[in-house]
Structure 1
Amino acid sequence: MSDLELRTLPTTDDPTPENIAWLQAVALGFHGQSLTDEQLKRWNSEAHRQGMRARGVYRSDLPEGAYPGPVGTFMSYDALVNTGGGHLETANLISDVTVRASHRRRGILRTMMTADLTEAHERGLAFASLTVTEAVIYGRFGFGVSSLHQHVELDVTHDFALRHQPTGHCEIVDARSEWVMDQRDALFRKTLERTRGAHDRQLFYRDRLSGAWDYDQGGENRKLRTVAHWSQAGELDGMATFEYGDWTDHELVINDLVALTPQAELALWDHLGHHDLVRKVTWRVANPHSPLRWALVDSRRLEVKGHRDCTWLRVLDPVRALSVRGWRDDGTVVIDVADDLGFAAGRFRITVEGGTASVERTHDEPDAHLGVQELGSLYFGVVEPSTLAAAGRVHGTPEAIARLDDLFEVDDQAFNNSHF
């Protein structure tokens, strides 16, 4: 790193030449096309309004003709995360992480990550979170898989049906009307408040889901359609945004589905599955705990094309993080947490009474030993301690692991469908 320098860039409403070079470096890092002036303006403006922190690693001597801008990029911002029990906690969300191929294995990612996590820890945040393109990079920085989703394909050819008649009614609505956009935002806010592991969305979701602006296309997306669901009581309780594929595939692709109740979700699936000229409905970010399979007359019509991790959680302050977690059962346990970066290292006594935990550092003998990466995976309940113990990643007596299972058990399954 002797010839490299880490800088933090101020974001402004109008992009500066330095901001433009940084954004183009992000596009390069994700193998995208060079950004247009309109893409640069929109991206930079939303980053500014979101309060994002842009970091870059720069060469001290730029060779003539070399691609301008940083050889490493890193963005973070503060947003709300549901920790269970209806509690929303501010977390440090990380995005736009790239390292140029010519400068790999120079410690660039570690430098950017350490600086960002240190700052977040100093600001008193309990954890950081990210979504990843590669699954083998971030464990070494203490991030653990914390939520999952599925890529599903539903066969809606002849005789597709649910076991029961959905309640309420669905209507196609104008995706670009301010009312629909406001209602979609309100529905998502309600699901954020109800769903353990849910993360708040970036500002670009509003325009992307309306079709007003699509960053990948660099303009409008006129193919997007939106359907809304009203309950029998007349409450708007669900929306799905979708588009039709080409005539060859006869596919309907869901871009987003937000429902406040299982009944609303099933009604939206039923509506989408009964479109003429459509043979299959696909969604890449489906909830693994959806009731859809069990509601189908023919359950084999739903095919899981793939399982994928969504969010990775990094605990920075175990006392705060565990104190604001929603707990189901009472109990007491002492855990010993290893953390190479030092933020979360130590022994902690967790005492839960009436769904609320008191957490304190202690020198008492621990019941279980684990790393901060494992603590991140246990936090939302996506995996049981006994499963990690069987995998050799949590250590303790069988009795202690059983008590950990009981304590970390959740009734509400974690899910997040907001990438960032």
Structure 2
Amino acid sequence: MPDHLDIAGLERAVLSLAPSEAIAWNGRATEVYGEPTELVDATLERLGWGRKQLEAIERQRLRYLSSKITSPTPAPLIGWTVPTPFPTGEFRFFALDVETANADRSSICQIGVACVRPDNSIETWTTYVDPKTDDWSCTRIHGITAPTVTGAPTFDQVFPLLSKALGGHVVYQHSGFDQSAIAAACTKSGSGQPTWEWRDSVQVARLAWPEFKGNGGHGLSSLKQHLGLQFAHHDAGEDARASAEVVLRAERHPAWQVTVDLPVRRSITIEAALESLDTIVEPGPAESSNVQTDQSSSKVATRPIPSNPIRDAMLARITARPDVRPHPSQRDAKGTKYMSAFTLGSVAFVVDKMSAGKQPIWVLDRADIRAYLDTENLEYHVYTPDMGRNSNLQKLPSFGKGQLLRIFPATADQGMGVIAKLER
């Protein structure tokens, strides 16, 4: 090759096209080792290379070393200012995963998409994203740093490509984190929200392998062990491929055949819209409407409180705690017809009374709470400030416009465990 070619750049370009499972080093962040010079010399001798070829190699080596001296910032795996091309062709469904620089979910620093073709083969697309932040507190999780994303596109440069490729398709995530991160990044960048249909491979795994509950759960780390999945956790491309593989394995499960067309979870946006209908205020004279009325001038149609023994047991245990107080916005611990709000020290939380079969707990979003929920494999949704919410939450300071977690404990014990974690 001519001496002017950037061999290191060509290497990065090849690695960007190769399947992640084919990259042994250093795509998997293995320990750095010394160059095997004796093996290289033996290989060159066996190839029969002469003085001309060896001199060309030496010039490339010196060129590489000089570039390291003049530019101490390591280049990213893919150095570009525009996103890498997205795979083309026909796909059954996609799976998407993101990594973030810090606890702010809009700080996306890597996006991976697994594209599942009609023959169930998986093609993975991965890109770094420059979140333009100085807070890299999540580097300890995924190893991505500010130098890693130097030259990478920003989210507003990447999202149009994703929107075009994934729009109208089914896109799996493993838990609700990725959907909330994309939504937060879209809001921050001024982009429109995605038009694809989110699904959750955690829900698919729970239906296919209920026996894993209480035995490691249905997180990717647990499924890696139980199903023998081969992937490097906390790499967006690897995790996206693992999520897609979970769906494909579930389709082949002999005890229960799941298809990707089965809706496994309603969209958070849809659920939020439904929650906002808990109380419907209709203006106009009472005689023109069949709705029930209260003593106010508005006509209010209300839903009856659904029976829920788990919720009632949890509320009884909450009110029995001496360190828990009714929220100042409420008269007493009974709260309103729709919710009971409490304070634990300086932390506020809400128990939703209007969800039949569930007992949601609302809290302000906190990274330590999400980490606990992920560890315990508890289902939760993230409500970003631009998303709808129950009108009763608007009455609580910070809950009306803040970013919230809606947590779904399956038992009273799980609910009390969440509340215990609220204590800072």
Bigger radius of gyration: 2
Query: Which protein is richer in strand relative to its size?
Result: 1
Q: Which has the higher contact order (CA 8 A, sep 6+)?
A: 1
Query: Which protein is richer in helix relative to its size?
Result: 2
Is TM > 0.5 for Structure 1 vs Structure 2?
no
